[in-house]
Amino acid sequence: MCRAFAAALVGVAILAPAAYAAEHKVLALPLVNGALHDPGQTVRVKQGDEVELRWSSDRPLALHLHGYDIESRVAPGKPAVMSFKATIPGRFPVEVHGQHGAAHRAVMYLEVYP
Amino acid sequence: MPVILPPARRAFHAARVLVASALLARAPAAMAHGFGQRFDLPLPLWLWLTGAGATIVVTFLLIAVFVRESHPLQRYPRFDLLRWPPARWVVNRGMAAFLRIVAALLFVVTLLAGLLGNPDPYSNLITTMVWVVWWVGVAFFCALIGDLWSVINPWSTLFAAAERAFAAMSGRRLSLALRYPGWLGAWPAVLVFLGFAWAELIWPEKNVPDRLAAVLLGYSICTWLGMFVFGREAWLRHAEAFTLAFGVLSRFAPLEFVERADGTPSLYLRPFGAGLVSERPVSWSFMVFVILMLATVTFDGFQETALMQRIDTFTQTSHVVASALFDLSELGLEESLVTHTLTLVAFVIAFVAIFWIVNGISLRGARARAGEARASTHFVACSFVLTLVPIAVAYHLSHYFSLLLTAGQFVIPLASDPFGWGWNLFGTAGYKVNLAIVSPYVFWYSAVAIIVLGHVVAVFLAHGVAVRLFGRQALVREVPMVVLMVGYTCLSLWILAQPIVG
């Protein structure tokens, strides 16, 4: 364990990013039949980026970005925007939360790299 | 799909009905292991390749070193910590009794919270307590420090209290004290652990507090009945799944507690993994139990990979499979539930079969030799099985330590409000979980380092066993086992390099 953590610390020291200019990332995400064109699409951003996920849908849905814990309702003609600063690194699903206890289904993954 | 399989028959019926009723009603399906979600980024490709490469290189280096040194583990160094006074202040009977009472109280509070508390899994103590603190936390403690579970096991504590009360009232022993039948071996534990793994990884209601509490209560009743029929000690030693599971993990740990016949205790400090080298081979049922642990730990990660998702998609698109699954879904079994359950069982069978075949290969051509009359595949497999444990421990640590540090934080608000009724006992109810506590760099590098270290320990132990079994032929004979270990380690790394889906 000790050695593992030492290795990890050395790794962090070497690879910790130098100054990184945060970007503003805007993505248009049209849902058709409750899914994106590429099911399981992964959006990659850098930690510190300003992210805007712009959802549109041909049917009413409740979307939930896990980890950042942002919920949005989207409906035909009523697009929804999830706007946030990507402060937490990791891989986070955006799930459709159905009614009546239907299975939670991931429509997209957000990967925030350090 | 029984979560708890009672080892004896009629007496357990009530508990079975309880468990069955808990399983029948269905709720939202969310396929993910245990409780809480992991948000770990997959290992970068170069890192997983480096890890796999390092695994192969260190394996060769170890073997090269062993060519000269033949008996590395016949006698391992150990040091009795209790000779040192400060250790005696911390480790003593009073402390053990204190921990036991705390654990038994926590058990009761957890069970009551599950039965009576808030139905939201994040507001109820039971989900965090069972899936994070107990299953991940206690497992970590047992693997890295020592067998805490055998000290604090609340089923044992509560039954022992009942024993004392009964003896005080009637003067008799609270047990039928039947002899534990040899043929039963560790099989009750195998069945319970398989059911437990299913509940942890597949059961859609594992996060529903009152269902979880019902199963916990059902298993408690089974355990107490087992203790009543065969005696507390015997049931714990042979059949209680979690005593065996935490016992396997703590064989890896550096602390070993021994109480001599005259009652003098010793707390030995020993090298990691030394406890996995046993003088005698384990029983056949115990071997299956250990392989079952390895298989379910791997399945846990595998289930979140895109490959598992493809298996799901395949079963839904293949006409024959889909129609068979549809028939089952008429019976109330959801398709993905059936697919995942079958994959879990297939994993376990494949692990046992592969392990058996590898042991068969290492024995090929050996039977005719003098002095190896005892060496059957059975004998060799039951001798080698524990040497695989370090890889599973390492994978388990890598897979779960970020979860323990993130989902484990739920304990802070829950301590103030265990039932989810809006209490604020310690003023911590408003605590918000910090998900950014583990940097991906720490996760990546420590995961790979831990897995490669686990592999080194495993190869080292396997060599020790090979020397004991095969003497001068050890190096040749352990090659199949070492190849298996390299494969198992690379599989573990590969899973960590897969993006989590599902």
By C-alpha distance, which of B78, B270, B99, B236 is closest to B159? B236
Per residue in B121-143, pLDDT tens?
Answer: 889 999 999 999 999 999 999 99
| pLDDT score of B197 more than 50 | yes
- Taking a C-beta distance cutoff of 8 angstroms, is the pair B129, B112 a contact? no
A-chain residues within 8 Å CB-CB of B42?
Answer: 91
The answer to whether the CB of B117 falls within 8 A of the CB of B125 is yes
Structure tokens at B78: 């150990």
Q: Are B316 and B335 in contact (CB under 8 A)?
A: yes
Q: Which of A112, A114, A9 is nearest to B449 (CA)?
A: A9
Nearest of B384, B394, B410, B407 to residue B480 by alpha carbon: B384
Task: Name the average pLDDT for chain B.
Answer: 86
Query: Torsion angle of alpha carbons B60, B62, B64, B66, nearest 10°?
Result: -150
Q: Above 0.85 for ipTM, yes or no? A: no
CB-neighbour burial class of residue B69 (10 A; exposed 0-12, middle 13-18, buried 19+): exposed
- Length of chain A, in residues: 114
Do B448 and B416 contact (CB within 8 A), yes or no? Answer: no
Distance of residue B145 Cα from the nearest chain A Cα, in angstroms: 11
d(CA B448, CA B397): 11
A55 CB burial (10 A radius; 0-12, 13-18, 19+): buried
What was the pLDDT predicted at A65? 92
Within 8 A of B41 by CB-CB distance, chain A residues are 89-91, 111, 113
Residue B163 in this model has a pLDDT that exceeds 90: yes
**Does B441 contact A15 at a Cβ distance shorter than 8 Å?**
yes
Over residues B87-97, mean pLDDT? 89
- Quick: pLDDT tens for B61-88: 887 777 655 555 566 778 889 888 888 8
Residues of B in contact with A101 (CB under 8 A): 27-28
Q: Which of A3, A90, A102 lies nearest to residue B449, judging by beta carbons?
A: A3
* For residues B423-451, average pLDDT: 90
Phi and psi at residue B33, in whole multiples of 5°?
-70, 160
Strand partners, A57: A31
> Torsion over CA of A89, A94, A99 and A104, rounded to 10 degrees?
-80
Residue-wise pLDDT for B314-335, tens only, equals: 888 888 888 888 877 777 777 8
The alpha carbon dihedral of B210, B216, B222, B225 has a sign of negative
Nearest-neighbour CA in chain A from B450: distance (Å): 6
Nearest CB neighbour to B446, from listed A4, A106, A109 = A4
**What is the rounded distance in angstroms from the CA atom of residue B160 to the CA atom of residue B231?**
10
pLDDT at B374: 58
Tell me: pLDDT of B417 over 70: yes
